[in-house]
Structure 1
Amino acid sequence: MKVIGINGSSHKEGNTAIIINTVFEELNKAGIETELIQLADIDIQPCRACLACKGHGNCVFKGDGFCDVFSRIVETDGIILGSPVYSADVSSKMKAFLDRGGVVVATNPGLLKHKIGASVAAVRRAGGMTAIDTMNHFMLNKEMIVIGSTYWNMVYGKDIGDVLKDDEGMANMRNLGQNMTSIMSKLNL
């Protein structure tokens, strides 16, 4: 079993990476392989809405890093989408990824069907629910099984490392990892 985390933050080792890695720790304890993809390192252009991806299983434009990342998540068992909150929603990198991925799956139904997914957000003040909702809607509209926890999947912190001070939020991330592990095990992925 394998889970890929997509970090939509501009800060590769920032708060979003910290919370994704906290979920990964629980998955790793159960022997589930994990991989973190940092969108900060990858150029992802916005979707052109040309619908040329229909029947191809991926975007037809290969000039950026989207196709590689998308093909990797199609091959995995689970996906964690993580974003900091910028202007009350997901980062622009995450939004570009979701928009392109959304059109590819809409024109090639079933690519992500029954994969396990979860969304996490690093939040300074507000907009966390909007960010989680944006990422969850991507997964729900792609027939994925979305995993929750004891509270909303967000952790508060401004500066890098501040999320570690949010005890409740970090406990929620560990519980999320345990819930993902449980469901993946029960589904024998």
Structure 2
Amino acid sequence: MKVLMINGSPDVKGCIHTAFEEASKIFNEEGIETKEFFVGSKDIRGCIACNHCKEAGQCIFDDLVNQVASELEDANGIILGSPVYYGNPNGTLLSFAQRLFYSTTVDLHMKVGASVVSCRRGGNSATFESLNQFFGISGMPIAPSSYWNDVHGYTRDDVYKDKEGLQTIHNLAINMSFMMKAIANQKDKPTMTKEQYTDFIND
């Protein structure tokens, strides 16, 4: 089993990476592989609504988005991680996630999703909610923890001082591992219907 970790921080050894490292310890104990992708410092442009992906099966901009998309099929879970920027996720991560989730041809239904946020003081709840939106619309169950998945501080060392934050990340990985294994043990996924599309203009 495998979890893809999408790190939206420009600091490759910062708070989000530290949280991902802590989660990976639990995943590895559960026999689950993790793979981290660093997005925050990349040159990722936003979606231009060209719909090239609907014809070609991948985004017209051949960058890290298409690289990660190629690994979605074999993944059982996805974690989006971001520092708080003015009460929002990192803008590069949002551009990346919007293009990834829209352009992929992989069925994400019943792959488990989770988000992890780091902040100095505030804005974490809004950022957490923003990232979770990607999962709900994709038919992905969201893994819970014992608190919202955030760690506090400016640096890696600060994260280690946030004992409750680390506990939350560990519990997230425990719950996510359980969910992925439980879903994998099911013979069939639930069936969703997608025939209806409300279009008030044409209706």
TM-score, length-normalised on structure 2? Answer: 0.85
Distance 1:66 1:74 in 2: 14
Q: Does 1:97 align with 2:96?
A: yes
CA RMSD after TM alignment? 1.6
Q: Does 1:178 align with 2:174?
A: yes
Letter in 1 for 2:168: N
Give yes or no for contact 1:57–1:111 (8 Å, CA) kept in 2: no
Distance 2:98 2:157 in 1: 29
Figure out how many residues of one structure are paired with residues of the other and give that number: 185
Measure how far apart 1:56 and its partner are.
3.4
Give yes or no for contact 1:14–1:161 (8 Å, CA) kept in 2: no
Give yes or no for contact 1:23–1:173 (8 Å, CA) kept in 2: yes
Give yes or no for contact 2:111–2:180 (8 Å, CA) kept in 1: no
| 2:108 corresponds to | 112
Q: Does 1:130 align with 2:126?
A: yes
Letter in 2 for 1:123: C
Q: Percent identity?
A: 36
Distance 1:85 1:74 in 2: 29
Give yes or no for contact 1:51–1:103 (8 Å, CA) kept in 2: no
Q: For structure 2, which runs of at least 5 residues remain unmatched after alignment?
A: 186-203
Residue 31 of structure 1 aligns to a residue in which SS? coil
Distance 2:123 2:137 in 1: 21
Give yes or no for contact 1:10–1:40 (8 Å, CA) kept in 2: yes
| 2:201 corresponds to | none
TM-score, length-normalised on structure 1? Answer: 0.91
Distance 1:71 1:180 in 2: 22
Q: For structure 1, which runs of at least 5 residues remain unmatched after alignment?
A: none
Distance 2:174 2:147 in 1: 14
| 2:164 corresponds to | 168
Distance 1:138 1:121 in 2: 15
| 2:74 corresponds to | 75
Query: Would you identify which runs of 4 or more consecutive aligned residues in structure 1 move more than 4 Å?
Result: none
| 2:137 corresponds to | 141
